[in-house]
């Protein structure tokens, strides 16, 4: 298969499996999405979706959020992990939103990435899912799949994002990155991976990855 044929195969397979794709984090507007994505760092979407209703019941906008202390925010979000840093970030960015942006989340990578506790991936998710601006947020699933499929060298997420943006059509990025996350979770996980169920890797996967998988399987 040529690289272009591989890309077409990936897109067609993902569209068949996930014609409609749900956004993993529960939210109602750009602000609640920004907070949910910030909380999801080194945590699971399931855990975040359990905690955000408790937080948003008290404060679902920057004005209510800054009425809480950093410590009060930290106590609510503690189960998601890294709570001291995340609480400071939530309080700090809420303050900036009020002072600089009339309480509205800006649709700008530069502005979002200037907020405390907000990195490029968080900004990309918000730009993509809240504002429908093309972005390709790379999480651990996408990073793993791009390597397994021989579409990136797996060196780092920055390189993986560059490769994904170069290879896939821009108008598909927002849908495709979500399809890939769901596919990675269901069919091509890091642990308990079953190649027979993983039709994309089985068809176009990196030869060394498949060889290593079969080698480990034969040892069992």
Annotated catalytic residue 139:
yes
- Buried b / exposed e over 52-91, threshold 16 CB at 10 Å, is beebbeebbebeebbebeeeebbebbeebebbeebbebbb
Q: State the catalytic residue, choosing from 6, 121, 163, 198.
A: 121
Q: State the catalytic residue, choosing from 26, 45, 60, 139.
A: 139
Alpha-carbon gap, residue 7 to 58, rounded angstroms: 45
Annotated catalytic residue 16:
no
Query: Among 47, 79, 77, 82, which Cα is nearest to 65's?
Result: 77
Alpha-carbon gap, residue 170 to 166, rounded angstroms: 9
Catalytic residue annotation:
121, 139
């Amino acid at each position: 298969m040529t690289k272009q044929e591989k890309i077409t195969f990936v897109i067609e397979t993902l569209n068949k499996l996930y014609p409609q794709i749900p956004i993993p984090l529960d939210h109602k507007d750009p602000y609640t999405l920004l907070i949910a994505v910030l909380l999801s760092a080194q945590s699971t979407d399931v855990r975040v979706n359990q905690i955000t209703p408790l937080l948003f019941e008290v404060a679902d906008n920057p004005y209510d959020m800054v009425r809480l202390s950093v410590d009060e925010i930290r106590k609510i979000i503690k189960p998601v992990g890294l709570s001291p840093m995340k609480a400071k970030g939530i309080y700090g960015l809420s303050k900036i939103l009020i002072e600089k942006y009339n309480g509205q989340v800006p649709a700008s990578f530069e502005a979002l990435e200037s907020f405390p506790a907000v990195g490029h991936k968080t900004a990309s998710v918000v730009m993509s899912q809240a504002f429908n601006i093309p972005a390709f947020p790379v999480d651990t699933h996408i990073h793993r799949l791009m390597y397994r499929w021989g579409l990136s060298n797996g060196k780092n997420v920055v390189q993986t994002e560059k490769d994904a943006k170069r290879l896939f059509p821009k108008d598909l990025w927002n849908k495709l990155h979500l399809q890939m996350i769901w596919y990675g979770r269901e069919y091509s996980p890091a642990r308990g991976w079953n190649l027979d169920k993983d039709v994309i890797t089985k068809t176009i996967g990196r030869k060394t990855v498949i060889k290593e998988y079969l080698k480990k399987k034969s040892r069992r």
